[in-house]
Structure 1
Amino acid sequence: MKAAPDAQRRLLDLQAVDTALNQLAHRRKSLPELAEIDTVSRELSALEDERVRAQVAVDDLDRDITRFERDIEQVRTRKDRDQARLDAGGALREIEGLQHELATLNRRQGELEDAELELMEKRETAEQTLNEIKKRISDALERRGAAEARRDAANADITKEQEFKTQSRGPLANDLPQDLVQLYDKIRANTGLGAALVRAGRCGGCRIELYGADLNRVKAAKPDEVVRCEECSRIMIRTNESGL
């Protein structure tokens, strides 16, 4: 393939734009906020598991406390009924039986109230744990929201730069021979770099120094001949800096 030396040199301008676009794409994928968002999201997932377990613990205690309250109320109702019967008087055997049952009910009520108090203390601790987890979730959500806002702002800046670079690329590529641009694009798609400056006898793509037959081949090539590197296949752009 042949192309005017000036057209070949302008491939470096096209490559500079494409390199900038690649860097912007890489920058978008490697924003520090992405890693932060991922870390906080995993933290939130773990915290949500903790919250569910803590909520279940509180709910279980609430259910147990409700059951104790119901049992205590039943004992109180039974005591009131027995006390009413005792106050009404009756046979000595019946009175003794009622007094014995009231003593038993008082002990039972005390045991139930002590157990209920213990559960209520446990519930207070469990609720405190649940509230602490909710606070940590709230803090994590705030941190993730801030990171997402920074990510979105950075992406907006990158998009603006990409649009500017893309707009400048079109006229530049259209002003070059299309067969040269097609070759350049094909090489760039495979290697990430379509054209490279030869400087001081070294290919700017693979950084390998030219020597022997390869050096003679490049030296002998006419200025309008499109020369490619034997090692990396990039189009080698020759200028006064090439040392050939």
Structure 2
Amino acid sequence: MKASAAQQRLLLDLAELDAEIAKTAHSRKTLPEDAELAALTTELESAREDVAASRVSVDQLAGVADRLDGELTGMNDHLTRDKETIAGGLISHKALVELQHEAESLERRRDDLESEMLELMEQQEATSAEADRAEATLLTLTEKELDLVARRDESARAVDARSADLTERRGAMAASIDAELVGIYDRLRGRGQVGAGLVQARRCGACRMELDPRTLSRIAAADEDEVIRCEECGAIMVRTSHSGLPGQGRRSE
């Protein structure tokens, strides 16, 4: 196949653009904000679990407090009735003694419940404070997540804009190269291979394979518009004045 040296050299520029496009695509998939968001997700899940657990504890203690308060109210009402009956003096001696014993027992139980209620109130205060801390932590992490999402979206837009620009430039450049030449290049890239590489320092710029003297001599002897493929990787080997081919100093590019 024949193609002018200038056309072949354009493949190197095309390869650079393709490398930039690939690099941009990789950066789009590996935005640093995405990594931060992934790490933050774990923190958020833990914070939500802490908030849920603390709320359950608060509700459970509130239920216990309601039960104790109900017991105390009922006990105080019962004790008040017993004392009123005792003060009225209208019951038998035996009933009076029994009622006094009952009143004493109620007072002891009431004192125990009041002590229990005080301890419970201290526990409720500590649990409520812990719940407040958990909710404050969740709020802080949620705000951080919103900020990260906004920054991630901004970074993504910038990368997408660069990708669109590179793709547009790539299309324009590919259109300026011989269709058959760029077709070979694209087919190689489609198979995951390098499409073209500069011959330099006795190596193929695509696969980095060192070229033997016979191959170098053959390349040097070929017409400059001859399209030469690497025997190892199949890439188009582009020659320039910097390729260091045998006798190149005595030939024009």
Q: TM-score normalized by structure 1?
A: 0.92
CA positional deviation for 1:75: 0.7
Compute the displacement of 1:106 (Å). Answer: 0.7
Partner of 2:224: 223
Question: How big is the shift at 1:192?
Answer: 5.7
Q: Which whole-Å CA distance do the structure 1 matches of 2:119 and 2:218 have between them?
A: 93
CA distance in 2, matches of 1:78, 1:160: 79
Written as runs of structure 1 = structure 2, the 5 A alignment for 1:131-142 is: 131-142=132-143
- Which amino acid in 2 is paired with 1:105? L
Equivalent residue number for residue 158 of structure 1: 159
Measure the CA separation in 1 of the matches of 2:137 and 2:231: 59
Supply the AA of the counterpart residue of 2:96.
I
Report the AA paired with residue 50 of structure 1: D
**Unmatched 5+ residue regions in structure 1?**
none
Aligned to 1:126: 127
- Taking structure 1 as reference, are residues 217 and 130 closer, same or farther at Cα in structure 2, changes over 3 Å only? farther
Counterpart check, 1:67 vs 2:74: no
Residue 240 of structure 1 and its aligned partner are, at CA, apart by 1.0
Deviations 1:133-154 (A, max 9, x none): 1111111112222222221111
| 2: CA distance, partners of 1:230 / 1:120 | 85
- Range 208-217 or range 121-130, more displaced: 208-217
- Partners of 1:174 and 1:104 lie apart in 2 by 101
Distance in 2 separating the partners of 1:196 and 1:182: 15
How far off is 1:4 after superposition?
A: 2.2
SS for the counterpart of 1:236 is: strand
- Conservation of the 8 A alpha-carbon contact between 1:214 and 1:230: no
How many residues matched?
244
Q: Quote the offset at 1:79 in angstroms.
A: 0.9
Q: CA deviation at 1:69?
A: 1.0
Secondary structure of the corresponding residue to residue 199 of structure 2? strand
Can you give the 5+ residue segments of structure 2 that lack an aligned partner in the other structure? 246-253
Letter in 2 for 1:227: I
Over residues 166-211 of structure 1, what are the superposed CA-to-partner deviations in whole Å (9 max), with x where a residue is unaligned? 2212221112222222221121233363221112322222223211
1:93 match: secondary structure: helix
**1:205–1:234: 8 Å Cα contact kept in structure 2?**
yes
Residues 115-172 of structure 1 show CA distances to partners (whole Å, capped at 9, x for unaligned) of: 1221221121111111111111111112222222221111111111112112212221
- In structure 2, the partner of 1:186 is 187
Change (3 A) 1:57 1:183: same
Deviation at 1:114, TM superposition (A): 1.1
Identity %: 36
Name the structure 2 match of 1:241. 242
User: In 2, distance between residues paired with 1:161 and 1:192?
Assistant: 24
Measure the CA separation in 1 of the matches of 2:79 and 2:203.
Answer: 103
* Map of 2:209 onto structure 1: 208
| Cα contact 1:17–1:165 (8 A) shared by 2 | yes
Relative to the length of structure 2, the TM-score reads: 0.89
Distance 1:80 1:29 in 2: 75
Q: 1:25: which partner in 2?
A: 25
Distance 1:33 1:115, change over 3 A: same
Q: CA RMSD in A?
A: 1.8
